[in-house]
Amino acid sequence: MGKVRVTSLKISQIDEPSSQEVTRVYVCSCFGITEQQVRDHAGTGACTPRQIASACKAGTDCGGCVRRIQALLGRGACPRRELIDNGAPEPLVAEVAEAEPAALPEAA
Helix orientation angle between 66-73 and 35-43, rounded to the nearest 10 degrees:
50
- The backbone torsions φ and ψ at residue 33, rounded to the nearest 5 degrees and listed phi first, read -95, 130
Report how far residue 94's alpha carbon sits from residue 101's, in angstroms, rounded to the nearest whole number: 12
Alpha helices (H) in the chain, listed in sequence order: 35-43, 49-56, 66-73, 79-85, 93-99
Percent of the chain with pLDDT over 70: 48
Could you report the per-residue pLDDT of 27-57, keeping only the tens digit for each?
A: 999 999 999 999 999 888 888 899 999 999 9
Computed over every residue of the chain, the mean pLDDT equals 74
Q: What is the mean pLDDT of residues 76-86?
A: 61
